[in-house]
Amino acid sequence: MYLSRFLSLHTLWVTVSSVMQHYPSVWGHYDVCKTQIYTEEGKVWDYMACQPEARDMIKYVKVTLDPPDITCGDPPETFCAMGNPYMCNNECDASTQELAHPPELMFDLEGRHPSTFWQSTTWKDYPKPLHVNITLSWNKTIELTDNIVITFESGRPDQMILEKSLDYGRTWQPYQYYATDCLDAFHMDPKSVRDLSQHTVLEIICTEEYSTGYMTNSKIIHFEIKDRFAFFAGPRLHNMASLYGQLDTTKKLRDFFTITDLRIRLLRPATGEIYVDEQHLARYFYAISDIRVYGRCKCNLHATGCKEENKRLLCECEHNTTGPDCGKCKKNYQGRPWSAGSYLPIPKGTANICIPSISSIGNCECFGHSNRCSYIELLNTVICVSCKHNTRGQHCELCRLGYFRNASAELDDENVCIANVCDNELLHCQNGGTCINNVRCQCPPAYTGILCEKLRCEREPGGCGGRSSAPGRAGEGAGPGPRLLLLPLLALLAARPPRGC
Ligand SMILES: *[C@@H]1O[C@H](CO)[C@@H](O)[C@H](O)[C@H]1NC(C)=O
Ligand SMILES: *[C@@H]1O[C@H](CO)[C@@H](O)[C@H](O)[C@H]1NC(C)=O
Ligand SMILES: *[C@@H]1O[C@H](CO)[C@@H](O)[C@H](O)[C@H]1NC(C)=O
Ligand SMILES: CC(=O)N[C@H]1CO[C@H](CO)[C@@H](O)[C@@H]1O
Ligand SMILES: [Ca+2]
């Protein structure tokens, strides 16, 4: 048996310390999970796709029995040991705690003697079939990680079907048939899981392995999850990476191990014989002492936590996803279609986070100078692309180099950035010049230049040298000379903050 080896491997995978961290954001889109695990080399960090730990799922189950009054004891009745029709001193009485066998006893802690069990009424209506459905519902999608194990007291049933639902009980599919005689009961050839292969692993089989009545000592029925995993991960499940790779790429395989509900359909109790002993029908009934289901919350690789809230399991979604299974993007994070995380590349996986919706940030607001935005993942922000009308900036709220803000135009005006030249705010015409329509400065006679910043005489032959009138004219410009004034002014313009935001 590879059970012990599996367990140590299993431990390695699930012995997760409470410390659960993420890669720093510098790892970019690899928003994978980091857990501390214990190996032979001691404590090490392991990086992997985000998924909750596997655990005992029975704690969170809701059970329904059909027919509802199928539990024994109301009215009280005596039943016989199946192997011995004359040992009939057992009593089931629902009103006496020591003699009652309610459904809860399938889910209590086992390991004590005698074991506690649920029991049905006896087959007193023979030949009418004794049919019982035991339905286990989680109201949450679960991925099975270990065998389903059902322990019967008093013989395993002659006929039984294990069914599953993936849609909260709306539709049901068989998972496995169990019979003492598969051909007779279900017109199926008997098979064992070990007869399957990677290619036939999804086949629904009928097995006779567990239906040998009271003749053998075993009380247990399995639904073999680990044997099926072994087709991909190897006989000792040493290569879980290979299994995860397969699960990632084959939806049918992933769905096979995924459930929201299970149903145990009991169709014929253990008789231990070919013929039913009609004289002693109190020998025939169903009794189950324990049901085990191990699995993890399905969170589409978008959560490492799964919490119980109002008796219901819920993924603690990350990556800006939401929903019970993290199956969709949060509002305002629909910048691209939702997709599940991926186990690939092994072992780190890919997070496939949801990114902000362009409209939600209100950031594809380009003041009408562009209708295209682009999401910059590194900055987690949206910027306008191809700003028109000589604008630039995240929201096209700035003017391109060499263009200036038209003070009389709003930010969404096509004329907001002008190659022109002057205004009455910052780009004053110098030396007493007047700004005409922001297009040009009307300069006093002695000055010239775009902003009237130059003395006209500078351009004349001989320059301004020797002119006696120069000092008087220089006095018209307040403070330092005009050229000195222009430089800080241009520096100021370059550093001009965005306006209107
Ligand atoms: C058990 O469930 C099956 C469907 O899964 C249904 O066809 C059948 O009638 C049910 N039997 C009882 C006894 O409720
Ligand atoms: C299942 O969960 C949903 C909430 O996600 C809740 O509305 C519904 O009542 C639950 N159903 C049952 C049967 O508990
Ligand atoms: C500045 O904007 C106003 C308002 O749109 C416009 O009338 C004016 O022509 C613009 N100035 C220039 C120089 O384009
Ligand atoms: C609001 C929100 O949940 N934002 C998160 C979106 O996802 C990134 C990456 O996982 C987180 O860093 C943000 O906090
Ligand atoms: Ca029990």
The alpha carbon of 431 and the centre of ligand 3 are apart by a number of angstroms equal to 24
34 CA from centroid of ligand 4 (Å): 17
Q: Is 318 in the pocket of ligand 4 (CB under 6 A)?
A: yes
Question: Amino acid identity, residue 246?
Answer: Q
Evaluate whether residue 247 is within a structural domain.
Answer: yes
Ligand 3 pocket by Cβ (under 6 Å) = 406, 408-409, 413, 415, 418, 420, 437-439
Output phi, psi for 213, to 5 deg: 65, -150
Q: Contact 400/488 with Cβ under 8 angstroms?
A: no
Dist CA 296 CA 45 (whole Å): 21
Cis peptide before 103 (omega within 30 of 0): no
31 close to ligand 4 (CB < 6 Angstrom): yes
Ligand that comes closest to the CA of residue 68: 1
**By alpha-carbon position, which residue is closest to atom 12 of ligand 4?**
319
Query: Residue 437 carries which DSSP code?
Result: T
Ligand 3 center–CA 392 separation, angstroms: 18
User: How remote is the CA of residue 139 from the centroid of ligand 2, in Å?
Assistant: 6
Q: What is the pLDDT along the chain (501 residues), one digit of tens a residue?
A: 333 333 333 333 332 222 233 333 333 333 567 767 788 888 877 777 899 999 999 999 999 999 999 999 999 999 998 777 788 888 999 999 999 999 999 999 887 778 999 999 999 999 999 999 999 999 999 999 999 999 999 789 999 999 999 999 999 999 999 999 999 999 999 999 999 999 999 999 999 999 765 456 688 999 999 999 999 999 999 998 899 999 999 999 999 999 999 999 999 999 877 788 898 899 999 999 999 999 999 999 999 999 998 888 999 999 999 999 999 999 888 878 899 999 988 877 888 888 877 655 556 788 889 888 887 777 777 788 889 999 999 889 999 987 888 878 888 899 999 888 777 777 788 888 888 877 778 889 888 887 888 888 876 666 776 444 433 333 333 333 333 333 333 333 333 333 333
| Residue 21 within any structural domain of the chain | no
Q: How far apart are CA 491 and CA 495, in angstroms?
A: 6
Indicate which residue's Cα is closest to atom 9 of ligand 3. Answer: 415
Q: Cα separation of 302 and 111, whole Å? A: 36
If one counts the domains in the chain, the total is 1
Ligand 2 pocket check for 169: Cβ under 6 Å: no
In a domain, 6, yes or no: no
**Cis preceding-peptide flag for 67 (omega within 30 of 0):** yes
Centroid of ligand 4 to alpha carbon of 9 (angstroms) = 32
Name the residues around ion ligand 5, CB cutoff 5 A.
105, 108, 116, 289
Angle (CA) 393 399 403, round 5°: 155
Q: Is residue 191 one of the residues assigned to a domain?
A: yes
Burial class (CB in 10 A: 0-12, 13-18, 19+), 121: buried
Helical pair 240-249 and 225-233, crossing angle rounded to 10 deg: 100
Best of 60, 64, 138, 139 for a ligand 2 pocket test (most atoms within 8 Å of beta carbon): 139
Answer whether 251 contacts ligand 2 (Cβ < 6 A). no
Å from CA of 320 to ligand 4 middle:
5
Position 182 in a domain = yes
Burial class (CB in 10 A: 0-12, 13-18, 19+), 177: buried
| Ligand 2 atom 1, closest CA | 139
The per-residue DSSP string of 200-214 comes to: TTT---EE-TT--GG
Query: Ligand 3: distance of its center to the CA of 328 in Å?
Result: 48
CA distance 121 to 232: 43
Q: CATH no. for residue 62?
A: 2.60.120.260
Q: How far is CA 390 from the centre of its chain?
A: 44
CB 138 within 8 A of CB 60: yes
**Structural domain for 238, as ranges:** 55-297
pTM here is: 0.69
Residue to probe by mutation, ligand 3, list 408, 421, 427, most atoms within 8 Å of CB: 408
Interval between CA 67 and ligand 2 midpoint (Å): 23
Token pair belonging to 159: 């006929």
**Is position 235 within any domain?**
yes
Burial of 459 (0-12, 13-18, 19+ CB in 10 A): exposed
Residue 340's CB is within 10 A of a number of other CB atoms, namely 20
What's the confidence (pLDDT) of residue 155? 86
The pLDDT of residue 31: 53
DSSP symbols for 296-323: EE--TTB-SEEEEETTEEEEE--TTEES
- Residue having the nearest C-alpha atom to atom 10 of ligand 3: 415
Ligand nearest to the CA of 287: 5
The closest residue, in CA terms, to atom 6 on ligand 1 is 133
Q: How far is the CA of 288 from the centre of ligand 5 (A)?
A: 7
Question: Is any atom of ligand 2 closer than 6 Å to the C-beta of 139?
Answer: yes
Asked if 213 and 160 touch (Cβ cutoff 8 Å), the reply is no
- By three-state DSSP, how is residue 462 classified? coil
Q: How far apart are CA 66 and CA 134, in angstroms?
A: 7
Task: Report angle CA 155, 284, 150 to the nearest 5 degrees.
Answer: 35
Which ligand 4 atom sits closest to the C-alpha of 351? 10
What residue ranges line ligand 1, CB within 6 angstroms? 66-67, 131, 133, 163, 172, 263, 265
135 CA to centre of ligand 1 in angstroms: 10
Q: Which of 412, 348, 342, 409 is nearest to 384 (CA)?
A: 412
Is there a domain that residue 188 lies in? yes
Distance from the CA of 343 to the center of ligand 2, in angstroms? Answer: 29
* 9 domain-assigned: no
How far is CA 22 from each of CA 11, 14, 80, 316, rounded to the nearest angstrom?
21, 17, 60, 14
Q: Would you say the CB of residue 102 lies under 6 angstroms from ligand 2?
A: no
CA distances 449 to 252, 404, 463, Å, are 77, 17, 15
Q: Which ligand is nearest to the CA of 356?
A: 4
CA-closest residue to ligand 1 atom 11: 133
Contact by Cβ (8 Å): 37, 240: no
